[in-house]
Structure 1
Amino acid sequence: MSVDAKLLPCPFCGATPHRGLGKVWHDSLHGDRHQDHVIKCPHLCVTMTGSAEGVAERWNTRTPHPALPSETVAEAAEIDRLNSALTEAANQISNLSSQLGQAEGRLYASELVGVVEGWKDRAEKAEADNQRLRDALRECEAEIDRYIWQEYPLDHPVHERYRQRDFIANPARAALTQP
């Protein structure tokens, strides 16, 4: 295999590997200088060293990456559905919060005039709907977090990094932090 051979993606994370030269070392028997070629994943999943041809061939002939099982595709579709539901719930919470703010403002004005009953009922209903939607968001947040743990179960640093990234990007968590 040639030195300029196209390299397959990382078998663990799918990233494009980097080529480089390793440290120079001396053959103690003959005094010759040698320098290994290095191919490594940019996320530090795996590193291979050796001769230019040998390391490229070893990199490209490792165990192939398994195809995604159909259940993973189904889980991705479920995540998309949950994300859509979360976005809709966040929008409803925002609308209800706005309505609650309007209702509270009107309630104050109504109390001054003596017309309170209808607005209090509406404010309580909006508050109850707001609480119900926040509870639903908390359930969605927990369900997405469980999925993330299933997707990246190992204690490998790359999995930990991906878990942290996905926990932060959880749309339910972001919606719950909004007032």
Structure 2
Amino acid sequence: MSADTSDLTKVDSAVSGLSSSPTESKMQPRSARKSSSYPGVFNINDLEKEGTKIEIASETQKLNWKLNESVNNVDDPTVLKKMLTTPPVKKIDLHFPLGLEVSARNLKGVTIKDALEAIHKQFKKKADDELDAPYLKGFEWDPEESWTRLKVHQAQSGAPVASKKEKKKKGGDE
């Protein structure tokens, strides 16, 4: 045995076969990760304790997105990078009318894309005819019902959309 391990009274069977001792840095107790707290991003429970009101990005009501389709099918992909709430939160629960609840998480702040991906994960294997209201209408925050979650509103049909060919024609004529 080397001089480094002579002070040990118990030796783990997994370690006893090793020829070198663990480095000093590995022996230090782990501290909380620094990256888990980004400036300006809050824990929803802390906001509730402080009584801080939450605002939802208005863009979520204009997405015209089908729950069982990829997030990449959103009409305007630039909105996906926007924060879902103001102030930004690390995690928020999304509650559906029939009781289903999904959580959207992002340590840098939950974006609209994070919320849509969490929803899509639940509905991606459902066929169109299995969904009563397949389109996302928007989110609602009701602090009297629950401070820490958003209600998900759905619609029977999405807004009428110009096809991609029509969009290109309009863009090319200008």
TM-score between both structures, scaled by the size of structure 1 = 0.21
Q: Report 1 or 2 for greater relative contact order, CA contacts < 8 Å, sequence distance ≥ 6.
A: 2
Rg larger in 1 or in 2?
Answer: 1
TM-score between both structures, scaled by the size of structure 2 = 0.22
Higher helix share: 1
